[in-house]
Amino acid sequence: MPKSPFPPRHPLDAFDAETYLDLLAPVIIGVPDDAYREGVLANLQTAKLMAEKVFAVSLTADACDLAGVFAPIALADGQALPESCSDE
């Protein structure tokens, strides 16, 4: 198979907030109110920047667990947290 003359692009490279808003908003909410357009575009740009930061992190399968799990520790009256859980 011949190699592509263009380097592979990340989907975020092609993301355009205005195009996304113009194509998707009518499907979800109908024609968006012009009063909100600038704010929605700013939020979409912020979401893109956040996604770029997340996808920039290189992880292996055993590097970490991306889905943090909260497990509360039940304490009896007067019982202190274990050393590893203290704020110190």
Tens of pLDDT, residues 33-85: 889 999 999 999 999 998 888 888 777 777 766 666 666 666 667 666 666 54
**Domain residue limits, the chain:** 10-60
Q: What letters, b where the CB count within 10 A reaches 16 and e where it falls short, cover 11-40?
A: eeeeeebeeebeeebeeeeeeeeeeeeeeb
Please give the full DSSP string across 42-86, using - where no structure is assigned: HHHHHHHHHHHHHHHS---TTT--SS----PPP--TTPPPPGGGS
| Amino acid 88: pLDDT | 46
| Amino acid 44: pLDDT | 93
| Amino acid 39: pLDDT | 93
| Amino acid 83: pLDDT | 67
Per-residue confidence at 4, pLDDT binned at 50, 70, 90?
A: low
Write down the pTM of the prediction.
0.56
